[in-house]
Amino acid sequence: MTAMQIVWAFLKILLMVMFVLNLAAMLTWADRRQSSMIQDRIGPNRAVIKIFGKEIRVAGLLHTAADGLKFFTKEDFTPPKADKLLFMLAPIMALGMVFTLVATIPFGDTICPKAFHLFPDFWNQHKNSAGDYVDWVPRYGTCSADVKTGSYPIDLVIAPLGVGILFVFAMSGQGIIGAAIAGWSSDNKFSLMGGLRAASQMVSYEVTLGMSLIGAMMVYGTVRLDDMVRWQENHAWGIFVQPLAFFLFFTAAVAENKRIPFDLPEAESELVSGYFTEYAGMKFGMFYFAEYAEVVTGSMLLVTIFLGGWALPFFHRDGLTVAIGSSTLLSVPIGHVWMTLIDVVAFFGKVLVVCWVQVVVRWSLPRFRYDQLMKLGWKVLLPASLANILVTGVVWLALDKAQPVAGEALKVAADLTQALVAVVATYIVVRGAIGFFATIKHRRDLVGSSAGFSTRSGGTKTSPMQA
């Protein structure tokens, strides 16, 4: 490994870890703010700093800092009869496995060394010895190394493993093991019940989580996450070719994160705090933070497998090319460095949107009963994932037999889905910008009262008073 590769490895680790850490911290604030907006409340406003007699609340952001300070200063309590080794190991397992997953998730396309200049222009061509223009960057395929300078292509992923999604499955289940160990080692009946719920919930949804991706792997023809993104970049996003698998994976991912409506392992109204009832201080903080970090990593996987990863509609490694079928409508070459930056920003932007959707779900749905949770996992999601595999196989074989007649039609359909994504994304961005700067008008509406409801239904009958 060269010195430049070591530097790049350090930068990639720093970028991904800092993104997960900071976004997980921001999600604790977003949970409070989003819940207050949905429930029409004031929201987080108690944490305040006074400077020259003026109170500064920073839109509730100080609550996140107060939480971190509280975790560091609270007593590190351990139950007298607890298994001390496992009690200390459980939060480490819960948080550590989250950052293990980050290493396998690609956040950008490969950087081609020949086109990576300090001051890049908007052209990806140069003149060869014969005076002809030659492309620096290939639109498809792999980049070649620069033998003269000894530089090699750089994959924007910390650990580009060949096993890809299989490693993700192996590591994602370890966090639930941490919850089960925490419940058993605490010597508390409520913690034990929470740990058992976490284990049974994992069995229910881990199967669906894996089954929902088999259809995607059949379509993409690979288990590597970066190759999945490249397939979506050249064809259509996974949400269009595997729509049912997208919703199944999203539901199973929320259940894996143990958030409402699937927060049975830590249901406060039933189990005090579930498997981490006996935890305090930073041990509790690690469990608390691991839940939000799992939201981020789950969103990263969802974006990578179903929402095009770093890819944007009609953007390729060598620039912007708007094409429908064999007709090219617009072609604008863009420097490779700029395209790399666009890819990275696009990936993290998609992750932010998916995290926000999970926050909205968190405050919009009620908690399932435990029997409803099991029925949903085993009687609805699992059969649906198996049916998705069957339908995907039949359709894929039919399309394979119909080649090359169906090839051009599928290419046009894929380009139309890219155009649809571009139009919808542009509309959302424009409406969001307009709404952000628009003046908010508050209006109080009286929905009704019990007296009004009874009057509209014919009034109430009052029985005569009896002596």
Domain boundaries along the sequence of the chain: 73-438
User: What distance in Å separates the CA atoms of residue 242 and residue 236, rounded to the nearest whole number?
Assistant: 10
Count of CB atoms within 10 A of residue 390's CB? 10
Omega before 313 within 30 of 0, i.e. cis: no
What is the rounded average pLDDT for all residues in the chain? 78
Decide if pLDDT at 411 tops 60.
yes
Both tokens of residue 195? 């740990």
In 3D space, the residue among 158, 156, 154 whose CA is nearest the CA of residue 103 turns out to be: 158
Query: Any idea which residue has 């223009």 for tokens?
Result: 133
Say which amino acid occupies 41.
R
Long-range contacts of residues 374-379, Cβ cutoff 8 Å, at least 24 apart = 374/200, 374/204, 377/201, 377/204, 377/205, 377/207, 377/208, 377/255, 378/204
Q: Do residues 284 and 71 make contact, with C-beta atoms less than 8 angstroms apart?
A: yes
pLDDT at 149: 59
pLDDT digits (tens, 9 = 90+) for 259-317: 778 777 776 666 667 777 778 778 888 888 888 888 888 899 999 999 888 888 888 87
Higher pLDDT residue, 190 or 1? 190
Tokens of 104: 């396998």
3-state DSSP of 63-106: HHHHHHHHHHHCCCCCCCCCCHHHHHHHHHHHHHHHHHHHCCCC
From residue 340, alpha-carbon distances to 57, 115, 148 in Å are 37, 11, 23
Each residue's pLDDT tens digit, 199-221? 777 777 878 888 888 888 888 88
Instruction: State the Cα–Cα distance between residues 400 and 284, nearest whole angstrom.
Output: 53
Q: What are the tens digits of pLDDT across the range 81-140?
A: 878 888 888 888 888 888 888 888 888 888 877 655 444 444 444 444 444 444 566 666
